Structure 1
Amino acid sequence: MITLELTRPKLTTTNKVDAVLQPGTVVETDTSTEESFFIPINFGGQDPASFTVENCTTTISTTVRSVNNFTSAGVQAGDPVSGTGVPASTTVVSVAGDGLSLTLSQAATAVGTVTLTFDPPSFTIADCTTTDTSTTVTTINNFDTAGVRVGDEVTGAGIPVSTTVASIAGDGLSLELSQAANATGTVILTFDTPGFTVDDCQTTNVGTTVTSTNNFNTAGVQAGDPVSGTGVPASTTVVSVAGDGLSLVLSQAATASGTVTLTFDPTAFINPPPFTVADCTTANGAVAVTTTNNFLEAGVKVGDPVSGTGVQASTTVASVAVDGLSLELSLPANAAGTVELSFDPPAISQATVYALKVTHSKLLANFSMNVELYTYDGSLANTPGTSENASQTITLAPVTGSAQVDMDAFLTNLRIPRTA
């Protein structure tokens, strides 16, 4: 009598797939005792289309405030400034009249109370008249307008080493040196302001907040959605959306203020739940792990993060034995023992294409059939086949809103000459 045994595929609702279809996977066998073949399917294959939201307002802040006084500290427009949350190559655009705030050339990237460093560049002033043994220097130009500050280091013909500016006249037409000149003449003098710091500077950044007269919730925007548009840095995503839907928070601050149209490109994910395998035996310093259970039947796959006693942080599955009774870790175990290991499969896109591998065999009067669920995420696209794989390449047929396989092409590319 012939009996039929059918092994059900693993539950797709929890996405416990047997393996990832990748180069080298045996896709078809045909012998006197066994035959197998793949059937491609699209399970949950809808990839949400991108969409736009108009009238999105981004705002950045370039203002820095301090309980100290920037003017008294000697800060001037044009001074290079650095510190926590201040982008490279930032300068001072202006200092407020009361000296308690200033405007940066670039918005701060963080909010906080920090110490800022100002490092003004050196500069020269021509037509400076010095008198031997006198500390007074005059000019037909204007020392004050040119940006000379008390304390600036001064160099030039007739100026002793380590001379600084002691004071500047109210009209800016003369200044006093800390040391008397040692020559008389009309020369070019160089002024260099030493770098200095100002404490308790409060940086503000509102560039991560975006508002809109439309409603982000109604439009379908969700946390995690990639977002792009004028003033939005690359690789920015949505961190959160306000309850009323009228604002959201970006993962990176906008680089410009304005009212723009933003594009959101959501990708739906299936996130397989973590699972455990008991009776896993580790050896100190070794990557091999054995079990009395079966890793393949449990759903363990290459790349799965692994954790448990004796397993180092950031360890993943490097390989799984064909019989499922052992695997190799990406990092050696740091303890020996028989323990329970946890596996946490990474999320995969719902646009992933799946394939059913159907294997049937006959042994005497017994006929058995097994169905295994594989995933295909496009990793085989434009990959040459092997002797046990496709003689051609496998490609995804682009379809708006989803990722699908051209059925005829898929089966044709997977087929190899029969072995028997």
Structure 2
Amino acid sequence: MAFPHLSEVLKILDGALKSNATMSTNYAGLLADKLEQAGEREEAARIRERLARAPTAIAHAQDAARGTFGLPVDSDSRLETIDESRPAKDSIRLHLSGGTAARIGDFLESVRHYDQLRAAKAASPLRLLIFGQPGTGKTQTARWVASELQLPLLTVRCDTLISSLLGQTSKNLRRVFDHAEQRPCVLFLDEFDALGSARGNERDVGELQRVVIALLQNIDALPENVIVIAASNHEKLLDPAIWRRFPFQISMPLPDPALRDDMWTTLLGQYAPADLDWNTLIDKSAGASGALIEQIVLDTKRKAILNAKPQIDKSELFRRLALALALAQGRSIASIGDEVRWLRDWDAKAFSIRELARLYNISTRQINHLIRGDHGDEGKYTRAR
């Protein structure tokens, strides 16, 4: 019969063999938590009693001697190369399509039952690569996984990790992975393509090759039960060898109609007006990322609250959606005239002359001037944003 908490016991043993008291105490605390969750409260209490008597001053001295006390830092800038956060359980709501949510659930179950799967020789390294366009929920997913596992999230800071000094980036990587191995955590490599870009392209230099090799070596040296999540907006730039190190791979697409429906309904909540055309809203928001939808709702609700309105203005919602999509497409919207003309092109029926006059609090004659592009008049019109 497999021992259900073998991973923690082996980590405690590793810490003892390395004279790393912090590593041993960290994983002993995790073992106590798991025992308590399994109903073995007396055993958990005995472990915590021992931990309470542990000589923490000695542990801190050991850490200082090895240079591993606290978060790792870049030796040149002295800035930390990791940000630590502790997302609270049930504090994060993910908006994902059914298939994506199922694959993330599979990864989470593999983490929770790693010892059982390992005993059956069916375990894979706990490494997840998430890729997709900006705003599709990659960072939020990493935060959610950490919150569900009730583990700290260690986010690697590429701005301080990558050094201009020859060889320093590889040293920083080593410190980051050493630190992650010492404690129960989720190591999150955001903007992963900054580290794992493919070797061999024309702009490649020797240092980049060394960084990728160092990254691969550090991943390979990491115990398979250490949780690593990497996220990339540009997965095509990743070195092919990187993909083989991540058994769990999840593409984060833009929201489909069903997911857009769920997001609009959930986020608008009681602020949704009774006459809102949900089908039109879902259709018109095709191509919007989850982050963009969330920001549009936030801005529209804020305006309603500041105007002491119990519900949002549906035309204001569509206006913000249309302008956000225009900016996302790289269109230049520099003036109110640009806005008005874009809105008319986007949906002339929804944005009639009269409705635009109401939205912008100007006359229909002035709206007609703006539509015709009478630039001499544009400076007369301002609008509260």
Name the TM-score, length of structure 2 as normaliser: 0.21
Query: If each structure's helix is expressed as a fraction of its own residues, which one has the higher value?
Result: 2
Q: Which has the higher strand share?
A: 1
Larger Rg computed on CA atoms? 1
Q: Give the alignment's TM-score, normalised by structure 1.
A: 0.19
Higher relative contact order (CA 8 A, sep 6+): 1
